[in-house]
Structure 1
Amino acid sequence: MDVERIRSAFPALELGEVRLDGPGGSQVPRPVAEAVAATMTAGLANRGALTPGEGRTEQVVAAARSAAGDLLGSDPRGVVFGRSMTQLTFDLARTLSRSWGPGDEVVVTRLDHDANIRPWVLAAERASATVRWLGFDPVTAELGDVAPLLTERTRLVAVTAASNLFGTRPDVRRVADAAHEVGAVVHVDAVHLAPHALVDRAELGADVVACSPYKFFGPHLGVQAADPDFLEGLRPDKLVPSTDAVPERFELGTLPYELLAGTTAAIDFLAALEPGEGDRRARLGASMAGLEAHEASLVDRLLDGLAGIDGVTVHGRPVRRTPTVLLTVAGHAPADVSRHLAGAGVHAPAGHFYAIEASRHAGLGETGGVRAGLAAYTTEDDVDRLLAAVASLTSS
């Protein structure tokens, strides 16, 4: 990949700092910021077809649904926008759980971010349904077998497409196929996968897939995608005057049109990471393939370097992973390691990053570890600066 060309689009990188904090929110390129600003000053209005302002607003919404559909391999008519992935998941959990009752079962995994755990656990508790937990190997961070947990009473299985703590990419399709055999709905958290690989809702076997644009160069927003026919069968809480059409019936209040424009710009930016031809989905495929190769090379360099530093432990050895590495340093609290790195101009935060169940299950408790997340704008020099900073801490 032409990493220098990509980096030139990010004003924040001109500060000279190493940004390995992308899993918590990536940096933003100029085209995204410009799209947000231009939309806010474009003379928009509430949605409609009477005035030019109404028409412009409709175009912004339609463009964002189309872009998100291309990103997630899903029908744009089933794309729902919300304040965050967390908010959208809580809303969906409340809606789906209305049909649950005593004896019904929900499966969640200990590998997931809490946003794909707690909404389902709380909804199950309110419905007096049973929660079944799918564990993972604390050493490899590989997800266990879901089949023994499934019964004819399983109503939903929630699973991550990529762990935001260890980078693990489970075999989601295998989980989904097993869940569908017993008639369960499958909800997939693709927040941590979407910045690193091409997402395809149908290929994953997901009934619903969710992501967050601010993890892939966009604004703070949540996106949920499902088959429109699936959404037609759900009756969420809504205001009486608001439309009953899908997907709008799931979107509470007025949409943040400027953030939708920024999301479209972010997806277009992703599609242009590598030269490509064809429609946007095809260009996304080419770009994400190039991105995976770029990030795989860098994460190998990072893992090899960390293996040569005494006192460093890398947590998780998944077979398939995103370029995300969780580490601890013997004799140093993760927060102190992160502080040391920050002093060297390297941003690699510490904590459990809301994957609290995963951190506990891996024996890291509430403290977690230091997370280094690579991105399209990461260079070999960035990796080497992190390694040098960690080595300087252990040698001292």
Structure 2
Amino acid sequence: MGFDVEKVRALYPALADGRAWLDGAAGTQVPEPVIEAMSDAYRAGLSNVGAPFESSERSAGLVAEARAAVADLVGAPDPACVTFGPTTTALTYRFAATLSAGWNPGDEVVVTQLDHDANVRPWVQHAQRAGAAVRTAELDPVTGELPVDGVVDLIGERTKVVAVTAASNVLGTVPDLKPITDRAREVGAISFVDGVQHCPHEHVRIAELGADFYATSAYKWAGPHLAAVVADDPWTLQNLHPDKLVPSPESSPERFERGTNPFAQLAGAVAAVEHLADLDGAASGTRAERLAVSRASAREHEEQLAAELFDGLANLDGVTRHGAPRGRVTPTAFFSVDGKTPRAVAEALSERGINVSAGHSYAWETVHALGLGPQGGVRASLSHYSSAEDVARLLDALGELAG
């Protein structure tokens, strides 16, 4: 009983190719239960919702089940808090367009250098259209941390939105969000938290973060390509009115979902949440209770591997890790190898059977704040299915390349 990484890995068909899959931050692989759930949904037959026959009712049921599953995953108080969309980028643009409708010259939005551009550019572009000011919180380029005071001090009486990440997608930094979201709430601003790299590694409770909105992508936590923005309360959504088709639903969250939902992917998302809830064989009780136990066990496993990775990188001559936050981090490392471009390093590692990412990874503000420019760095990111052997293979290969 407990977390057994070999049993977990056996559920992932892609891992059978023998490669070290260290690119989870770019997208995780998918276990058999998720594959089967999606296949079963198609086999049973799916129709659009609202029709008086079984396949339509089945689709409606999948939507309801998926909202409940994601609500459990992030600790939302009600499934009606969950809005689905194709990607986090698309959903963030959708919410930015809706929230900015009431902005005026002199209003302000706060973004950070730690964020993925999906939680920067939509707010910047809509602020510019409204004549609102953009205030950018700077990260510490040495530690890779986001100083809390540097964000809080930018939030004022004219602030409309504070867009901040819960975990950097390249540095792994997990900022202290509560003082930031508390200050936003004090001045009546909306906090929009990017949880895409946070949700795969933490037991999320949206109320503890203080977020008004929390974004997550299922394909970063062993699910299909599907995203969700979760509100802290159904009321938060009910008071927003996005552009929509005249005959499309007036109800919330449906009015935020443009067009037909991908029903089979929703079935896969439910299966992915169930899979995460069952990672620890000792977990029991409701799905929310099992998630609490299993996410903690997976986190402990990832922390052990991350310590080996970080220590190993620190001991390699010719390898520089960018940002080494002192506080809580996700198991992600961003680094460079002397004399080699990030792309060349990734290609050399691929030849050795190791998958890593290279480039800016859309952390546009981050790579420029670090002085790396568009070429960025190399990113190795661990997942709950990563093994000690994966980490050892990476460190051995980097030792060869750096030497």
Q: TM-score range by the shorter chain?
A: over 0.9
Q: Residue by residue, what CA displacement relative to the aligned partner does 1:82-130 show, whole Å, maximum 9, x if unpaired?
A: 0111100000000000010100000000100000000100110111000
Whole-Å separation in 1 of the counterparts to 2:23 and 2:264: 25
Task: Choose which of 236, 257, 269 in structure 1 pairs with 2:275.
Answer: 269
Equivalent residue for 2:225? Answer: 220
Distance, in Å, in 2 between the alignment partners of 1:278 and 1:356 is 42
Runs of 4+ with >6 A deviation: none
1:174-193 to 2 correspondences below 5 Å:
174-193=179-198
Shift of 1:17: 0.2
Counting only pairs closer than 5 Å after superposition, residues 32-71 of structure 1 correspond to structure 2 as: 32-48=34-50, 50-71=52-73
TM score, norm. by length of structure 1:
0.98
Matched, 1:11 2:13: yes
1:290: Cα distance to partner? 0.5
User: 1:149-168 residue pairs with structure 2 within 5 A?
Assistant: 149-168=154-173
* Superposed CA RMSD: 0.9
Deviation at 1:50, TM superposition (A): 2.1
| Cα offset, 1:81, TM superposition | 0.3
Q: State the partner residue of 1:380.
A: 388
1:193 and 1:342 mapped to 2: Cα distance?
Answer: 26
Q: Within 5 A, what are the aligned runs for 1:1-396?
A: 1-48=3-50, 50-74=52-76, 75-144=78-147, 145=149, 146-226=151-231, 227-275=233-281, 276-318=283-325, 319-395=327-403
Deviations 1:246-298 (A, max 9, x none): 11000000100001011111111111111211211111111110111101100
Matching residue's letter, 2:303: A
Residues 151-205 of structure 1: CA distance to partner in whole angstroms, max 9, x if unpaired? 1000110000000010000001111011111111000000001111111111110
For residue 86 of structure 2, what is the amino acid of its counterpart? R
**Alpha-carbon deviations, 1:127-155, whole Å to 9, x = none?**
10000000110011110221221110001
**How far apart are 1:350 and its partner, in Å?**
0.7
- SS of 2:44's equivalent in the other structure is coil
Partner-residue secondary structure (3-state), 2:366: helix
- Provide the C-alpha distance between the structure 2 equivalents of 1:317 and 1:355, rounded to a whole number of angstroms: 16
CA distance in 2, matches of 1:45, 1:346: 41
For 2:172, give the aligned amino acid.
Answer: G
AA of the residue aligned to 1:370: V
Distance in structure 2 (CA, Å) of the matches to 1:290 and 1:347: 25
> Does the residue aligned with 1:188 lie in a helix, a strand or coil?
strand
Cα distance, 1:387 vs. partner?
0.4
1-structure distance, mates of 2:131, 2:13: 51
- Which runs of 5 or more structure 2 residues have no equivalent in the other structure? none
Q: 1:198-233 deviations in whole A, cap 9, x for unaligned?
A: 111111100000100000111111111112111111
CA distance in 2, matches of 1:248, 1:147: 33
Measured in 1, the distance between the counterparts of 2:329 and 2:45 equals: 44
The 3-state SS of whatever aligns with 2:310 is helix
Distance (Å, rounded) in 1 between the aligned partners of 2:322 and 2:157? 36
2:34 touches 2:272 (CA, 8 Å); kept in 1? yes
Number of residues of Structure 1 aligned to a counterpart in Structure 2: 395
Taking the aligned partners of 1:232 and 1:241, their CA distance within structure 2 comes to 18
Q: Counterpart of 2:122 in structure 1: which amino acid?
A: P
Other structure's SS at 2:215 match: strand
Cα distance in 1, alignment partners of residues 66 and 111 from structure 2: 30
Which stretch of the first structure deviates more once superposed, 71-80 or 44-53? 44-53
**Alignment gaps of 5+ in structure 1:** none
Alpha-carbon separation, structure 1, partners of 2:45 and 2:356:
40
Paired residue type of 1:176: T
SS at 2:153's partner residue?
A: helix
* CA distance in 2: counterparts of 1:231 and 1:218, whole angstroms: 25
Task: State percent identity of aligned pairs.
Answer: 51
How far 1:49 moved relative to its partner? 6.2
User: Counterpart of 1:48 in 2: which secondary structure?
Assistant: coil
Distance 1:273 1:361 in 2: 37
The range that moved more, 300-309 or 129-138, is: 300-309
- SS at 2:395's partner residue? helix
